[in-house]
């Protein structure tokens, strides 16, 4: 019984120390795809990002936003030519995990602690 308790304690200790690698710098620039459901239909966005600009291609429209990197895994996106008040608000993006050519991210309005959403983007170039 003591041996079982010791093994259980050791395995919990090692499992709690596991932290997944994040190679965020591999995803700071390039061409990416992101798919999500809007009104019950699958919608795909393609975007090209360099160190300071992101160009989004969605439903035949092109949008440009500035990017300010906070650290290797977090950045703030702000549209350069907002069409309304909602588009004027900056969005905080955080890369949570990376894997080969995809990354999982969390996003929400800057300063908002609630209403964060998650997505997965795929690097295609």
The number of domains in the chain is: 1
**Concatenated DSSP letters of 49-102:** E-SSEEEEEETTEEEEEEEEEEETTEEEEEESS-SSTGGGS-EEEEEEEEETTE
Q: With respect to residue 16, please indicate whether it lies within any of the assigned structural domains.
A: no
Quote the pLDDT of residue 4. 53
In tens digits, the chain (125 residues) has pLDDT values of: 656 555 555 555 555 555 566 789 999 999 999 988 888 888 899 999 998 999 999 989 999 999 999 999 999 999 999 989 888 899 999 999 999 999 999 999 988 778 888 899 999 98
User: What is the pLDDT, as a whole number, of residue 80?
Assistant: 94
Is 107 inside any structural domain? Answer: yes
Look at residue 23 and give its three-state secondary structure: coil
User: Residue 90 maps to which CATH number?
Assistant: 2.40.128.20
Range of the domain at 97: 22-123
Asked whether residue 61 is assigned to any structural domain, the reply reads yes
pLDDT at residue 41, as a whole number: 87
Please indicate, yes or no, if residue 115 is contained in any of the structural domains: yes
């Amino acid at each position: 019984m003591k041996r079982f308790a010791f093994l259980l304690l050791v395995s919990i200790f090692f499992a709690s120390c596991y932290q997944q690698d994040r190679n965020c710098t591999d995803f700071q620039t390039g061409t990416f795809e992101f798919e999500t459901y809007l009104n019950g239909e699958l919608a795909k966005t393609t975007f090209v990002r360099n160190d300071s600009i992101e160009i989004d291609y969605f439903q035949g429209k092109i949008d440009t936003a500035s990017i300010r990197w906070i650290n290797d895994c977090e950045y703030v996106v702000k549209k350069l030519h907002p069409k309304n008040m909602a588009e004027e608000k900056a969005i905080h993006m955080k890369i949570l995990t990376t894997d080969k050519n995809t990354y999982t991210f969390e996003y929400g309005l800057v300063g908002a602690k609630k209403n964060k959403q998650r997505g997965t983007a795929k690097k295609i170039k």
